[in-house]
Amino acid sequence: MTLLIVEDEMALNKSICDYLSAAGYRCEPVYTFEQALEKTDCHEYDCIILDIQLPGGTGLQLLRLWQQDGKRDGVIVISARNGLEDRIEGLQLGADDYLVKPFHLSELSVRIAAIIRRKQFQGQSIVDAGYILIDTLGKTVSIHKKTLDLTQKEYQLLLFLVVNRNRVLSKNAISRHLWGDDMDYPASFDFLYTHIKNLRKKILAAGGSDCIKSVYGAGYKMQL
Amino acid sequence: MRLFDRYKRLTITASIFSFLIGSIGFYFVLTYVLTRQLDETLKSEQQEILAFVQVHNSLPEIQNTRHQWITVQPAATANEPARFGSTSQYLPDRKGNKEEEIIRQLSFTIAAGGKHYLITVNKSATETEDLLQLIVLVTICMVAILLLWHTLLQRRLLKRIWQPFYDTVERMRQYNIAGGQLLELPEENVEEFKLLHDSLNQMTQRIYQDYQTLRAFTENASHEMQTPLAVIRSGIDNLLQNAEGQEAIANGLSVIETATDKLAKLNQSLLLLAKLENRHFLFTEDINITEVLQNKLREREEAISAKQLLLHTELGDACIISFHRQLAEILVTNLLNNGIRHSKTGGYLRIRLSGPVLSIRNTAYSGALDNQRIFQRFYKTDPSSEGTGLGLAIVREICTAAGLSIQYAFNENEHVFTIVFNQGQAPMAGNSHPGTGNNRLS
């Protein structure tokens, strides 16, 4: 899986590359409009992470060019602007998702995974993580071919953990993914704890291992 | 005191004073002139007598009238100079009543037929006095009429002349710098108003520009902060991968992350506020507010049950309003969060949508909140609270931008927030009956 990271802020670009590389993607960082155009002219990517404000042009212009060329790469727009117009225009120009800065890398990773699932495998909807199989279309989870009965939040949580498996995820990042920005953190941590506890129980009951590890002081980690 | 009244008082006082002085002066001048005239008549009488004596060397036969008579007395010498004088005397008037009259006299001596005489020519000054009185009366009347006229005219004229001033004040009062429009006062012909308008136009233009710059600055600053925040947050995400087993580092990172999240949230809220002020949003989408409420309540289920709040909803039929989707969600989320956050554990949360009237009530920890400050930015009753202190400020700004008003009331140990959505633009579904609820407050 190859990703193109178009982001002019070096430090952010490097962080994204580091995280996604560790998740098993091959990342190519570019920093300007020109570089991005050059790269996409001769390569195809599974997903392009695209910043809106770039030296030499805007991400929206790039989207327009790609659309004219009939490119079908998955694109996720990351922007400092929470403008609804940008979001709508971006999506109209063929972007698959839109993420507002600052975001958690785990969130970005989940979104990329979803785009790749949708785009690359022609509607392939199974996330295969060892003995855990997640059907993202039917929103069902099975362990050793046994279907798990999960609540909506538990399903969301499990998918997030599985996609970001073997990574340490902060409680903040998970909370944000499950409840959005508007939750009070101390309160949501309690809910999170409850959900994790229930999820663990259900996985164990289905014959799985105790794969959700607590990382002291930091958060949780799905070890698969 | 109004400028009018002050001006009127001053002008009237000055007018009365000057008219008074003028009248007194006029009186004296008139008296002088009339007395001179009287004296002339007396003198010509004297001349006649002198001429007669010169020709006949005897006194003429004297014919007295009621108003003019001559007395002759023997005198010791004929060399006394002629003297004018005034005296008063009771004389019968036409009806026979005695009346004091002023008499003007000219006394002179004359020698006739070897004898000396003191001749006094008397003339009643009544007519002169009457004339004088009449003139004074007419003058006073004229003055009074003039004053009255002046006052009336002034009231009318001043009102008309000052009308542009009142218009200007009214426009100033109505002007809202956040409205996105310059105060453009019309061109005036009158120099003073022209000066006033030009100065006000200039001043508001300057303030408006400063205000715009400041608002643009807030928005830009918030934008610019997003990328560094993204760098920090992603950096933490990466660092966390190495913090496994090192609790101290992990804890430190968590603290930084929480602070970063708070900063990001704050920044986003400020950005939203700036955008709301800059009227970035159009409220033209048809939004089913009932649905938004239901969705947001579902999202908050856990928080509500965690606080053991008794949730009571009365949403009724679908209520469609002209709004902005994102803002409707933020509005509802903030109000719900506020209600949940500031409820007593084990209290209740009551949400009622009756027609276009949305009321959210929750049990209070303590007494009423300060109605003036509750919607202010960064106002927190509990400084250690997790919120940014911007939630209600955003709610109010959204309401303002949408042309709605939000009311807060404290009612028997519960906080009540009430919003009345635009009914005019919003087609109502079903038969709603606003105002029948006993918990509707305005």
pLDDT digits (tens, 9 = 90+) for B236-286: 999 998 888 888 899 999 899 888 988 888 888 888 888 888 777 888 888
- Smallest CA-to-CA distance from B359 within B285, B432, B305, B434 is with B434
> Tell me, what's the ipTM?
0.88
Token pair, residue A134, equals 């997640």
- Band (pLDDT 50/70/90 cuts) for residue B235 is very high
A189 at interface of B, judged by CB pairs closer than 8 A: no
* Inter-chain CB proximity B231 and A176 less than 8 Å: no
Average pLDDT over residues A190-202: 91
Residue B186: cis peptide before it, omega within 30 degrees of 0: no
Token pair, residue B286, equals 């048809």
Q: Report how far residue B45's alpha carbon sits from residue B121's, in angstroms, rounded to the nearest whole number.
A: 7
Based on DSSP, count helices (H) and strands (E) in chain B, helices before strands.
Answer: 8, 11
Q: Measured between CB atoms, which of A168, A179, A186 is closest to B240?
A: A168
Q: Report how far residue A67's alpha carbon sits from residue A7's, in angstroms, rounded to the nearest whole number.
A: 20
A9 vs B contacts (CB less than 8 Å): 227, 230-231
pLDDT above 90 for B231 = yes
pLDDT above 60 for B435 = no
User: E strands along chain A, which residues?
Assistant: 2-6, 26-30, 47-51, 53-54, 57-58, 74-79, 97-100, 126-129, 132-135, 140-143, 146-148, 168-170, 212-215, 219-222
Q: Report how far residue B435's alpha carbon sits from residue A81's, in angstroms, rounded to the nearest whole number.
A: 41
- Within 10 A of B212 (CB to CB), how many other CB atoms are there? 13
Give every CB contact of residue B106 below 8 A, 6+ residues apart in sequence: B39, B42, B43, B45, B46, B82, B83, B84, B85, B120, B121
A181 at interface of B, judged by CB pairs closer than 8 A: yes
* Inter-chain CB proximity A16 and B251 less than 8 Å: no
Contact B281, B329 (CB under 8 A): no
Q: Kindly report, residue by residue over B47-70, the tens digit of the pLDDT.
A: 888 888 888 888 888 888 877 888
* Inter-chain CB proximity B240 and A176 less than 8 Å: no
Contact B120, B71 (CB under 8 A): yes
Q: Report how far residue A27's alpha carbon sits from residue A37's, in angstroms, rounded to the nearest whole number.
A: 16
Which residues pair with residue B109 across a beta bridge?
B118
* Inter-chain CB proximity A80 and B230 less than 8 Å: yes
Lowest-confidence pick of B94-103, B127-136, B407-416: B94-103
Quick one: residue B205, left, alpha or beta (phi over 0 = left, psi -120 to 50 = alpha)? Answer: alpha
pLDDT above 80 for B117 = yes
Q: Kindly report, residue by residue over B307-332, the tens digit of the pLDDT.
A: 888 899 988 888 888 888 889 999 99
Contact A39, A28 (CB under 8 A): yes
Angle between helix axes B191-240 and A105-120 (nearest 10 degrees) is: 80
* Inter-chain CB proximity A185 and B268 less than 8 Å: no
* Inter-chain CB proximity B223 and A167 less than 8 Å: no
B274 vs A contacts (CB less than 8 Å): none
